[in-house]
Amino acid sequence: MGLCGMLMGKVKPPLMNLQIGAFLKWLYWRYLRVGFSLLPPRAINVMTAAMARVQMAIAGNRRQLMLEELRLSSLIKDRDTGQLILESFQNQLNAWIKQCYLRRMNDKTIDEYIPAEGLSLLDSVLAIGRGAILLNPHFGPYMMAMPALGHRGYRVNQLAIQAESPRVARAGLTMLANKARYDAVEGAMPVRFINAGAETFDNFGLRNMAIRDILTTLCRNEIVLYPPTGRGGRKWHTAPFLGRVANFNLVPYKIALKEGVPLIPVFLIDSERSNSRGAARVIIEPPIEVSEGDTPEGLMMKYLAVLTAYVEKYPEHFAFFQFDMKVKSEWDDHPFFVR
C-alpha cells in the first residue's frame, strides 16, 4: 500500500485521491527514494513517527476496523489502544519507506541495514543438502527477508503470485506508479522469483509449474521463501489461530513431509524495543521438529504456535495485514479469517 493510500482515512478513497496517490507513489519510487536512502534508519523512524500521528488523526474507519480486528484476535490485552494503533501505522510506514535502502544494500553493507540472528541454524540445515523452506509470513517488513539472505550469499527463491512487472489491468498513473515500484523493489531483490501465477493446478493446491519449480529448487539445495499467510492457491484448511478460525494452505507442510525438507520460521522485526539502531533485523528460528506420524495439519499447528508467539509479542507488525484481510473479506472467496 502506498504512502498516500495509507494517509487516507477512508477504506475506499475517491478517484481523485487515488490519482493523487498514484502520482505521489510514482514520484517517490522514481525519484524521492534516492534522497530517503541517504538518511540513517533512526532519522526515518523519527519522520515516520510524526507521519503516523497524522495518519492516525485522520484514519477514521481504518482505525476502527483495525481496533476491531485486534480485539477479535485478543491482541490488545492491557496495551494502550492509542499507542498500539500508532505503532501499527508507523510499522507499516517503515516497511514501505525503508525499501528505499534496497539500492544501498549489498554483501558489504547488509549487516548495517538488516542485522541477522540464527544464521548458524540455517547453515546447519543447508549442510544436510535438501534445501530449506523458510516460512515468511506477512508480518512487519517481511519483504526484507529477500535482501537479508540474498546479500549474504544464500541462493534464495521467493514464491510470489506477481513475480513480473505489473502490466495487466493497469493504466495511466497507476501503471506508471506500479512499474516504478516494481523496478525499485522486486527488480532490486537478489533473489529468483517463482511465479505462482501460472494457470495449471496439481494435487497440492498450488499451480503445477510453481510446485515443480519449488521441488527443483530444493533439489539444488537452495532456499524457498514461502508466505504461509499468503492467499495464493485453491485448497484451504481451516485452523484455530489467535482465538479465531483462519484459512491456510497446506502446501509447504505437505512438501516437508513428502520430501524431507526442513521448515524454518523466519521473521523481520522493526521495533525500537528490539533494536536501538532503528533498522529491521531478521530472526531465523529453529526448524520445526518433525515427529513420527506427523501430518501436514500437525506441522502447520506447530508453526502457528511460533507465529502466534510473535504476533502476541509484536501485534503492531500484524495489525495492517489483519486490516487488509478484513477489507478483502468482502469479496474474497477464501477470506483469511473465517470468523
Residues 37-71 have pLDDT tens digits of: 999 988 999 999 999 999 988 888 889 999 999 99
What is the SS3 assignment for 101? helix
- Report, as an integer, the average pLDDT of 92-120: 95
Cβ contacts of 116-119, under 8 Å, gap ≥ 24: 116/148, 116/152, 116/281, 116/282, 116/283, 116/284, 117/281, 117/282, 117/283, 117/284, 118/283, 118/284, 118/285, 118/286, 119/152, 119/284
- What is the layout of strands, in order, in the sheet containing 156-160? 116-117, 281-284, 263-269, 132-135, 223-226, 156-160, 192-195
Q: Would you tell me how many other CB atoms lie within 10 Å of the CB of residue 4? A: 20
pTM of the predicted model as reported, rounded to 2 decimal places: 0.89
pLDDT confidence of residue 331: 85
**Would strands 281-284 and 263-269 be described as parallel, antiparallel, or unpaired?**
antiparallel
By DSSP bridging, strand 132-135 and strand 223-226 are: parallel
Distance set, CA 168 to CA 162, 165, 171, 229 (Å): 11, 9, 9, 24
- Joined together, the cell numbers standing for residue 23 give 502520482
**Is residue 107 within 8 Å of 272, Cβ to Cβ?**
no
Tell me if 93 sits within 8 A of 99, measured CB to CB: no
Instruction: Compute how many other C-beta atoms are within 10 angstroms of the C-beta atom of residue 50.
Output: 10
Other Cβ atoms within 10 Å of 286 Cβ, number = 13
Does residue 10 surpass a pLDDT of 50? no
Give the integer Cα–Cα distance in Å for 77 and 67.
12
Lowest mean pLDDT among 87-96, 154-163, 185-194: 154-163
Cα(202)–Cα(91) distance, integer angstroms: 37
Please give the mean pLDDT across all residues of the chain: 88
**Residue 293 has what DSSP assignment?**
T
The percentage of residues in the chain with a pLDDT greater than 70, rounded to a whole number, is: 86
The predicted pLDDT at position 298 comes to 96
CA geometry: angle 169, 145, 67, nearest 5 deg: 70
Q: How far apart are CA 57 and CA 166, in angstroms?
A: 33
Q: What is the mean pLDDT of the segment spanning 153-171? A: 72
